[in-house]
């Protein structure tokens, strides 16, 4: 099972190269050219040195000039190939990063509400930014580093063996020691890196949480507490970076030390062989040039180990998200709704948020007729909002079924189902942009006239035209430039524009003053004509005109009827209503 899992991830990793195979091949060809030229240039230098020592006069000069011209041509080719790798190779990585980020973002939008109930936004953002960037670096540098390192290392070894076997064996005897040293500290860096990735995600989550609630923080003067929480996460991140940098110092400076040891060994042993007549000066110069070339692929391969670890860590974190299957998905033969009447039926519905939690509903049944205006009331926590969230399948029921026009909603495609339901939620969310953008979100491509008409129905037009730029006024992040009542009316206008056959209002008038509330109620009466409407309200004055009021309790439906019927019965609704009148 584990082997299949690993193979599956390897196949997924390689699949991102598929759209860019031509670019990858060109990048690898350039990498081979660059490596080959790097191996050739010291041989050209050796040829010039031999010409100086062994050939006299004009013949030596002509050979030197010809070799120099060849070296210049090789350098030009090397530069052009290097530029291709630096530009096009990085662009390939960036394009692949874009593809992965797009896939991850699209997957985020498919995941169920229950997934987000247990997640920190900062951690999700870290996966879509930091982790995908690490992957980009691996996708670009990985293949070319392997090619360049292999060619340079093997080529250097072969060339040096042809020059002097004993000296080559002495130099290469140090390589296993250097490799073991570097991999040890590279592993410690990788561990610290994984920890720091998680902790930067925690910092993102803390910042997002504090900034989103900055007004609450200020109103309770708890800036010091938020600073303390941020400092805690910040210090934890610094500690993980400290371990990383400590290991990196040992890694990089240790590699430099080994490089210097290589050079000293070549000078000492090479010098003794020159003195003994078994090695020429030109060969020693060539040897020194190749030592610099030899250390580079070793250092690159060790750095690649870190790059690989960073990228694979990011890839695993991305895959951990992509492999999470949405709890709520379309069935295989999901249907598309064509003409929705709006009849809703709850039949023996059971639901709880987690398996180890108590039931919110158990064997709950309710029938809402087409075009009926139904109000849901009752104490907080009895499941009014939850009940309405089950209709568009934001959460999946555990038992029973919910039917729309006699069709089980599980057999309807999510897009089709939600397209026919308009929701004004208790927690208002407006996007950064203009007033028109936010109203138009209810119907993409809506004309300005349609947007204005929806605003008028929601009693929002008058305050909108009083804004600095009217419908083109920028409302800021989450609508921070508007009052609570104004934001509420924009969210209502958005649903007016959508004009669905089923409408759900969850505390839709809670932030409005009495005058605006009355205007909205008048608009609601027009909108709810021949449409199935569910209204959740704590302010019972807003639902007096409902055709049916359903009073929920922890045990289910406590009572139901019209306002007058419930008042006359003297039950829980009458008690709630009388309490509100006395306030």
Alpha carbon distance 512, 524 (integer Å): 14
Contact 31, 80 (CB under 8 A): no
Q: Is the pTM of this model over 0.75?
A: no
Please tell me the CATH code under which domain 96-322 is placed. Answer: 1.20.1560.10
Alpha carbon distance 535, 491 (integer Å): 15
SS3 345: strand
- Over residues 95-99, the mean pLDDT reads 92
Alpha carbon distance 138, 142 (integer Å): 5
Task: Return the structure tokens found at 445.
Answer: 């491509």
* Predicted pLDDT at 56: 54
* Predicted pLDDT at 157: 86
**Residue 274 predicted with pLDDT over 60:** yes
Q: What is the CA radius of gyration of the chain?
A: 35
* Predicted pLDDT at 5: 61
- Poorest-confidence range of 180-194, 251-265, 345-359, 509-523? 509-523
- Over residues 521-537, the mean pLDDT reads 77
* Predicted pLDDT at 24: 93
Alpha carbon distance 377, 536 (integer Å): 6
* Predicted pLDDT at 51: 63
**Residue 526 predicted with pLDDT over 70:** no
- What are the structural domain ranges in the chain? 96-322, 344-582
DSSP string, 12-79: HHHHTTGGGHHHHHHHHHHHHHHHHHHHHHHHHHHHHHHHHHH--HHHHHHHHHHHHHHHHHHHHHHH
Q: What mean pLDDT is reported for the chain?
A: 83
* Predicted pLDDT at 400: 92
Alpha carbon distance 399, 363 (integer Å): 8
pLDDT in tens, 396-452: 999 999 999 999 999 999 989 989 988 887 777 888 889 999 899 888 888 999 999
Q: Which fold has domain 344-582?
A: Rossmann fold (3.40.50)
Give percent of the chain above pLDDT 90.
19
**Residue 55 predicted with pLDDT over 70:** no
The top-scoring range by mean pLDDT among 45-49, 195-199, 436-440 is 436-440
**Residue 293 predicted with pLDDT over 80:** no
């Amino acid at each position: 099972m584990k082997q299949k899992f690993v193979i599956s991830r390897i196949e997924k990793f390689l699949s991102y190269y598929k759209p860019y195979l031509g670019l990858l091949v060109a990048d690898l060809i350039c990498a081979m050219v660059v490596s080959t030229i790097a191996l050739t240039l010291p041989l050209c230098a050796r040829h010039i040195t031999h010409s100086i020592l062994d050939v006299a006069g004009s013949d030596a000069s002509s050979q030197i000039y010809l070799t120099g011209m060849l070296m210049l041509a090789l350098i030009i080719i090397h530069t052009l190939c290097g530029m291709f790798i630096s530009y096009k190779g990085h662009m390939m990585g960036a394009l692949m990063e874009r593809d992965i980020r797009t896939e991850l973002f699209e997957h985020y939008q498919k995941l169920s509400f229950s997934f987000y109930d247990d997640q920190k936004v900062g951690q999700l953002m870290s996966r879509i930014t930091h982790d995908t960037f690490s992957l980009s670096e691996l996708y670009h540098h990985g293949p070319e580093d392997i090619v360049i390192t292999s060619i340079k290392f093997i080529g250097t070894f072969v060339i040096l063996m042809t020059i002097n076997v004993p000296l080559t064996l002495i130099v290469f005897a140090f390589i296993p020691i250097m490799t073991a040293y570097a991999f040890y500290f590279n592993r410690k860096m990788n561990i610290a890196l994984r920890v720091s990735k998680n902790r930067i995600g925690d910092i993102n989550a803390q910042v997002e949480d504090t900034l989103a609630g900055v007004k609450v923080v200020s109103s309770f003067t708890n800036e010091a507490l938020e600073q303390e929480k941020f400092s805690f996460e910040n210090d934890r991140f610094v500690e993980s970076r400290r371990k990383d940098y400590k290991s990196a110092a040992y890694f990089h400076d240790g590699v430099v030390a080994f490089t210097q040891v290589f050079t000293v060994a070549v000078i000492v042993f090479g010098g003794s062989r020159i003195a003994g007549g078994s090695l020429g000066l030109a060969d020693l110069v060539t040897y020194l040039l190749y030592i610099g070339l030899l250390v580079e692929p070793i250092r690159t391969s060790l750095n690649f180990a870190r790059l690989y670890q960073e990228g694979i860590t990011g890839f695993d974190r991305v895959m951990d998200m992509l492999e999470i299957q949405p709890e709520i998905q379309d069935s295989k033969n999901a249907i598309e709704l064509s003409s929705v009447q709006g009849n809703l039926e709850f039949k023996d519905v059971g639901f709880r948020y987690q398996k180890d939690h108590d039931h919110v509903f158990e064997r709950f049944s309710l029938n809402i007729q087409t075009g009926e205006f139904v109000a849901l009331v009752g104490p907080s926590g009895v499941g009014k909002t939850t009940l309405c969230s089950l209709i568009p399948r934001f959460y999946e029921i555990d038992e029973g079924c919910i039917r729309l026009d006699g069709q089980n909603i599980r057999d309807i495609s999510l897009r089709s189902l939600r397209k026919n339901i308009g929701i004004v939620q208790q927690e208002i969310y407006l996007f950064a942009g203009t007033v028109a953008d936010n109203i138009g979100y209810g119907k993409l491509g809506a004309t300005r006239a349609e947007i204005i008409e929806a605003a008028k129905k929601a009693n929002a037009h008058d305050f909108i035209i009083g804004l600095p730029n009217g419908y083109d006024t920028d409302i800021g992040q989450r609508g921070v430039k508007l009052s609570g009542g104004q934001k509420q009316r924009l969210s209502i206008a958005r649903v007016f524009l959508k004009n669905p056959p089923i409408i759900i209002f969850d505390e839709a008038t809670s932030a409005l003053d009495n005058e605006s509330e009355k205007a909205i109620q008048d608009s609601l009466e027009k909108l709810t004509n021949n449409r199935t409407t569910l209204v959740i309200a704590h302010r019972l004055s807003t639902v007096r005109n409902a055709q049916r009021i359903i009073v929920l309790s922890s045990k289910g439906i406590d009572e139901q009827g019209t306002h007058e019927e419930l008042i006359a019965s003297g039950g829980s609704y009458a008690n709630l209503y009388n309490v509100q009148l006395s306030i």
